Structure 1
Amino acid sequence: MYSFLNSTHSLNTRLNLFVASVKKLYPEIIGIAVTRIDEHDNLYSVYRSPDYGDNFPTFISSISQSPRLNKIRASLEPSIIDNMLSHQSSVKQIHLRLLQSNCISSMACPIYSNDIFIGVLFINAKVKDFFSEKINYFTTFSILISLLIADNFNNKKSFHSIVKTVLLLSHHRDPETQNHLKRVAEYSRLIGLYLAKKGKCNGDFVDSVYHFSDMHDIGKSLIPEDILYSTKIYTDEERAVMNQHPELGCQLLSNILTTFKYDNNQELDIILNIIRHHHERYDGNGYPYKLKGTDIPLEARIVTVADVIDALLSHRPYKQPWSIDDVELYLINGSGTLFDPLCIDAILYSLDKITLIQKRYPDVIEETAPL
C-alpha cells in the first residue's frame, strides 16, 4: 500500500503505485495528471495515468484564458467540477477530450514548492458529484501527490545546484554568461513543447531537457584556459583539445553523480546524451561519434539548435550579435545538414518567443571604466 513512498522508485513508478492503491478503494477514479507551467503561462503534462490513453491533453495553452485554472494559481486552492457535462468551460476542446475517457467530475489542485506555483494536479472520476462528497479524503490525497511532485522537483533542483556550482566555476571568465545558459534552457523547452505537440516526446522528457540543457558545456571546465578563453582561430591541435570537452564533461558529471549518489537512470541518460552529443550534426559530420539523423538522441538535437541560436544572437568578444533575420536564414539553410528539420520547424514557429526570452534574460556586457 505504501510502496509509493519508496524514494528509490522513479516518480512515474511512485505515482502509478499511488493511483493504483487509491483505485482499489475508489474504482470510480479514472486517474490523475500532473502538469508543470512554463515561462509563457502554458501548462504541459509531465505525468498522466495510463487509463487516459491519449485523451488527456499534453499541452494547455495560456492558463490565463481559463478562469478556473487562473483562479487556482492565484488562490492556491483546489477547484471541483461536479458535472463536466454541464460545465461551461473556456477550454471546451479539452473537456471534450476528457469526456471521451468518461471523465464526468474533476478536481484540480495547485502544486507549489516553497509557496511558488509550479503546476496543477488533475484528478478525474467516472461519476458526477464524486469529489464534493469526498472532499476531505481527496484534499489529503492531492496534498500527498503534491508532496511527491514537490519532493521530486526539489531533488532535481538540489542536484542541479550541485552541478551549477561546477558550471559557475567553469564560466567565471567564460564569455558565455549564466544568462546564456538560461536562454538555452528556455529555447530547449520551446523546441521540446513543439515536438510534444507533434507526438515526438512527452512533457516529462521536455521538463528534463529544460532542467539539464545548461549542463551541455560542463566539460569546458577541464579545458586549459589558454585554449578555452582564446579569441583567435584555433590551430588543429587546439581544436582537437577543445573537441574533447563532451567526453570530459561526461566523465566529470559521472564523478559528481557517484559522489552524490544520484541514481535516476532515465534522467541520467538524458543529461549524458546532452553533454556527449550536442556537437553532432544531422548529416553525420559532427563530433565526437559522427552520429547521423535520428541516431543522435533527441535531447541532444534539441540542445544543439538552442545553443547555436543563442551563440549567434549574442555578443562575444570576437563577434557582434547576428540579427534575428540572419539567424533565421542560417537555420533554414542548415536544416537537414547541421540540424534536425523538426527542431528548426519548432524554432521558426516560435521566433517571437525567442525575442521575448532574449529580452527577459539579457547579457550584461562589462565595460572597462575610463582611466
Structure 2
Amino acid sequence: MSTNPQFLTMALNPQASTLTHRLEVLHDKLLETVPSVDRIACALYDADEDMLKTFINSTRAGRAMVGYEYKLSDSHALSAMAASGEFRVLDNIEQALLSNTGHTNWLREQGYRSSFTVPIYDGGSLTGFVFFDSMRADAFTTQVQRDLVLYTNLISMAIASELSAVRLVLDATRIARELTEVRDFETGSHLERMARYSRVVAHAVAPSRGMNDEFVESVYLFSALHDIGKIGIPDHVLLKPGKLDPAERVIMETHVDIGVGIIDRIIGTGKRQRLPDSTILRNIVHCHHEYLDGSGYPRQLKGDEVPLEARIVTVADIFDALTAIRPYKHVWTPEQALEELDRMAEGGKLDRDCVRAVHDHLAQLLLIRDSYQDDTAIASPREE
C-alpha cells in the first residue's frame, strides 16, 4: 500500500474539515486497495466513567451505529486488548461473538461477517478503539492487517491532534481565570456537571436533528467554556449576593462578548486558527443566553437563529443553576426545576426537545449531580 504526501496532509490537517470528513477521506483511499472494508468506526474511552462511546464513523454498507455507550470493564476481550495493546481479528463474527450486547447484536443485524479491532493510545493512556468491519468472512488477512495498522495510526494521530487542541484551549482558559485572580469563579464540579449534563441532552436530541456523535462530543468538550467571559466581570457584580440593578445587569451581560474575544485570542481566527471546527465552541459562548423568543442577549436571536449547541447548553446551565447550591438563592428540587424548564419551554424561550431530554434522563442527570458535588457552599457565580 502506498500513500502520498497530499493525501496525508488532507487526512491529518485539522483545518481541512471535521474528523468525520477526514475519516471518510481515509476510507476512500483505503477502498482503493482493500475494497472489502465496509465500515471504519472509532469509539472514545472516558476513563472517569469507564465508558466507551461511539464517536466518528465511515459506513459504506449497513446502518451506522450512533449514540451507543458501553462500560469497558463489561467486556473482557476489549479490556484485555486495552491492557495489552494487541489487535483482535474475528474471521467469522457469527461464530466468534455469542454475547447479546447492543454492539454484538447490531453487528449481526447489519450482516457484518468479519472484523479487525485496534486499541489506540495518547501519551500511554487509552484513547479508544478503531473498528474495521466487512461483509465478507476472512477479510482481514495478515497483509490487510498491516495496511490497516497504518490507517489506524493516521486516525489516532488525527484524533490526538484534535483533542490536544481542545485541551490547549481548556488549559489556556483555566490559566486565564487564575491570572485574573477571580476566586470561586467556577468550581471544577460545576464545570464537570455542565459538560456531562450537556452531553446527556445532546445525546438525546442529536438523532432527530441530524447530528452525529462528533457533534455530541464537541458539545461535551466545549460546554464548560460557556461563561469564560465572566473572568472579565468585576467581583462586586459577579459575586453580588442580591439582585443586580439595571447598570450592573448591563455590565454582567458584557461577559458574552468578552468570552468570544477571549476564545478568539486563544484559538485565533481565519488561517491562524488553532482549533479544528471552532464554530460549535463560538456558538456556545456567544449564544448560550439567547432565548428562542428573542428575549435573550446579546443579539436577541429568535427561533432557528439560535444554534442547537447553544440551546442544549442553555437548558443544561439553567438546570444546574436551579438545582446546585448558590450563595444567593435556595436550592430547587428536581421537580421544581423541571416545572420551571417546562414553563420556559411553553413560553417559547427554551427548546422543547432539550427540555424533554431532561425529563427523560432525569435519573442520569441526578447521578451526575451527586457524583460531582461542590466542596463548599459557595459554588458558581450567579447566572444572569
* TM-score, normalised by the number of residues in structure 1: 0.87
Distance in structure 2 (CA, Å) of the matches to 1:35 and 1:222: 38
1:22 pairs with 2:25: no
* Matched ranges for 1:38-53 at <5 A: 38=46, 40-52=49-61
What is the aligned counterpart of 1:348 among 359, 365, 377? 359
Residues 90 and 99 (structure 1), Cα distance of their counterparts in 2 relative to 1, 3 Å cut: closer
Instruction: Work out whether 1:113 is the aligned partner of 2:116.
Output: no
| 1:9 and 2:16 are equivalent in the alignment | yes
Letter in 1 for 2:39: G
Provide, for residues 165-219 of structure 1, a one-character-per-residue CA deviation record: whole Å limited to 9, x for no partner: 2244467324532221111011011111112344542111111111111111111
> Residues 366 and 333 of structure 1: is their aligned pair in 2 closer, same or farther, counting only changes over 3 Å?
closer
1:86 equivalent in structure 2: 95
Query: More displaced, 332-341 or 292-301?
Result: 332-341
Instruction: Report what 1:139 is aligned to.
Output: 149
Q: Is the 8 A contact 1:188 1:213 kept in 2?
A: yes
Identity of aligned residues (%): 32
Comparing 40-49 and 283-292, the one that deviates more: 40-49
Contact 1:84–1:106 (CA<8 Å) still a contact in 2?
yes
Amino acid at match of 1:155: A
Of 141, 156, 169, 1:159 maps to 169
Unaligned runs of 5+ residues in structure 1 are none
Note if 1:180 corresponds to 2:194.
no
Once the two structures are TM-superposed, the CA of residue 132 in structure 1 deviates from its matched residue by 4.5
Give how far 1:255 is off.
2.0
| Residues 113-160 of structure 1: per-residue CA shift (max 9 Å, x gap) | 223223221111232122243333433432332233223222221232
1:359 is aligned to: 370
Whole-angstrom CA distance in 2 between matches of 1:26 and 1:335: 50
Moved more, 309-318 or 65-74: 65-74
Aligned partners of 1:366 and 1:237: how far apart in 2?
28
Give the TM-score, by structure 2 length. 0.85
Query: In structure 1, what is the Cα distance between the partners aligned to 2:203 and 2:184?
Result: 30
SS at match of 2:268: helix
Match of 2:340 in 1: 330
Task: Report the equivalent of 1:57.
Answer: 65
What CA deviation, in whole Å up to 9, does each residue of 1:225-273 have, x standing for no partner?
321221121111111221121122112221222299434462x211111
What is the 5 A alignment of 1:258-277?
Answer: 258=268, 261-264=272-275, 266=277, 268-277=278-287
Tell me whether 86-95 or 281-290 shows the greater mean CA deviation: 86-95
Where does 1:280-291 land on structure 2 (aligned, <5 Å)? Answer: 280-291=290-301
Say if 1:4 and 1:14, in contact at 8 Å, map to a contact too: no
Q: CA deviation at 1:328?
A: 2.4
Distance 2:198 2:174 in 1: 18
Distance in 2 between residues matched to 1:197 and 1:42, nearest whole Å: 20
Pair 330,89 (structure 1): closer, same or farther in 2 beyond 3 Å: farther
Determine which of 188, 207, 214 is the counterpart of 2:217.
207
Query: Structure 2: which 5+ runs fail to align?
Result: 379-384
Q: Is the 8 A contact 2:82 2:119 kept in 1?
A: yes
Using CA pairs under 8 Å that are at least 6 residues apart, name the structure with larger relative contact order, 1 or 2: 2
Tell whether the 8 Å contact from 2:327 to 2:377 is kept in structure 1 after alignment: no
Q: 1:62 to 1:181 in 2, by over 3 A?
A: same
Q: Give the aligned residue type for 2:8.
A: L
- Deviation at 1:102? 5.2
**SS at the partner of 1:153?**
helix
Number of aligned residue pairs: 365
